[in-house]
Structure 1
Amino acid sequence: MTTYMTSTTDYAAARTATLSAATDLYGAGSTDYNQAAPAWAGVTVGSLPSGRVPATP
């Protein structure tokens, strides 16, 4: 992850970094990307990807 993050990376940048890593490693439409994006939205960092419905507890 040092390719994507530094010691000063904040939450918004960490979201970008993890999504970039998922894209680079597995592709933008991959399961990993599609699980990471809503996970960040679930902790109110970034928004839910379009077309996704938030899970209800």
Structure 2
Amino acid sequence: MNVDTNLTNFFCIDPCGSKKMIMTNMSDYTTNSLKISYITKILKKNCINQFQNYEKKIYQSKKT
């Protein structure tokens, strides 16, 4: 199953609003519920990772 990485990046720009964006953009995937859960899982994981990395960078830049 292919997942568009641009889509993933789009959802990760605003981690706080990503759930809302997933809900509005997932209408394209309603034909395949398995694909929805798969993509949502990947997006959640990527967003959490990116957000934590972002927080780490901010924390480190404040320390120096």
Short-chain TM bin: 0.3 to 0.5
TM-score (norm: length of structure 1):
0.38
Q: Whose radius of gyration is greater, 1 or 2? A: 2
> Of Structure 1 and Structure 2, which has the larger fraction of its residues in helix?
2
* Greater relative contact order structure (CA < 8 Å, 6+ sep): 2
TM-score (norm: length of structure 2):
0.35
